[in-house]
Amino acid sequence: MSGYPDLTPREVVACNLCGGSDTRLWATKNGFSIVQCRSCSLIYTNPRLDAEQRVEYYKGEYHSGYDDDPVRGRMYERDIQEMVQIVGESGRFLDVGCAYGRFLTYLPATFEKHGIEFSEEAASYGRRRFGVDIQAGDLHSVRLEDDSYDVVHFRGVFEHIPDPQRELEAARRILKPGGWLVLSTVPNIGGPCGIVFRERFRLVDPCGHIYYFSRSTLSRYCRKNGLEILHVRYPYLGTPYERLWRDAVRFIIDSLGERLSPPFFRSVITVYARKSLAGE
């Protein structure tokens, strides 16, 4: 028998945003179908890996390299520099889907740092390697006090979550009034690469990336959960990945062939959404 996990999609789901089941085929890739809801336009993998398969998929090598990638470290520094200008420079900070917790090590010591990670293996490694507080599980399954965090942060993880609606409900519950939800570096299916390249957009990975969000669908999620988006960013310019003129040329040439999209402007989106203050 092969040592590789079975990645044949098994689980069929309704739209997570509106609950509808009327979809159109948006693309196919690597044996997976990616559909678009006819009602709210959310794009998602359907059918997808089931819970047992996802556990196997995220074991072992998935997080390898995350703890020592220098380019990723520079991105963390850039992200934090931008973030503290919006959310402030201190407070209780929860990083959801934190892998080994390396992002938390870059945060200023003025923050009280906590993490949640789906993979017990990654959480355990992070506690040993970096000495950070990481609980294993999902945000909705780990019991945390209401109104207890100043910032709830998802970086490069929201597209992986099987039930984003349930996670946002939990995030809103644990945020203090006036607290911030940060959905960071989410693949933006509404950007130029998503529109032009579709399944050849380099961030379309239906095995691990279950949902494909746009600014519009992220806004609908936040409004549905009583969170107001106050800032939107598209990380690319000024990042270690920016090669603007080269990438612009590659965008044109590669869009005419069969290659994956290059890194490009508006390929990822970051939103800062605020929970209302008491009485607002």
Tell me how far apart the alpha carbons of residues 124 and 105 are, in angstroms, rounded to a whole number: 16
CA separation for the pair 141, 163 (Å, rounded): 12
Question: What string of pLDDT tens digits covers the 280 residues of the chain?
Answer: 345 677 888 899 999 999 999 999 999 999 999 999 999 999 999 999 998 888 888 775 555 555 567 888 899 999 999 999 999 999 999 999 999 999 999 999 999 999 999 888 889 999 998 899 999 998 988 989 999 999 999 999 999 999 999 999 999 999 999 999 999 999 999 999 999 999 999 999 999 999 999 999 999 999 999 999 999 999 999 888 889 999 999 999 999 999 999 999 999 999 999 998 864 5
Supply 245's token pair.
Answer: 């003129």
- How is 69-114 classified by DSSP, letter by letter? -HHHHHHHHHHHHHHHHHH-S-EEEEEET-TTSHHHHHS-TTEEEE
Task: Output 5-8 pairs: Cβ under 8 A, ≥24 positions apart.
Answer: 5/53, 5/56, 5/57, 5/59, 6/53, 6/56, 7/31, 7/49, 7/53, 7/57, 7/207
pTM of the model: 0.93
DSSP β-ladder status, 43-45 and 32-37: antiparallel
CA nearest neighbour of 151 among 104, 93, 80: 93
Rounded distance between C-alpha atoms, residue 153 and residue 184, angstroms = 7
Strand segments (E) across 157-225? 175-187, 211-212
Among candidates 179, 178, 202, which has minimal Cα distance to 189?
Answer: 202
Residue 204, classed as helix, strand or coil, is coil
Q: Where are the domains of the chain?
A: 68-275
Q: What kind of architecture, by CATH, is found in domain 68-275? A: 3-Layer(aba) Sandwich (3.40)
Q: What angle do CA 23, 38, 166 make, to 5 degrees?
A: 80
What whole-number distance in Å separates Cα of residue 44 and Cα of residue 209?
8
Q: Which residues pair with 34 in a beta bridge?
A: 27, 45
Distance of CA 128 to the CA centre of its chain: 25
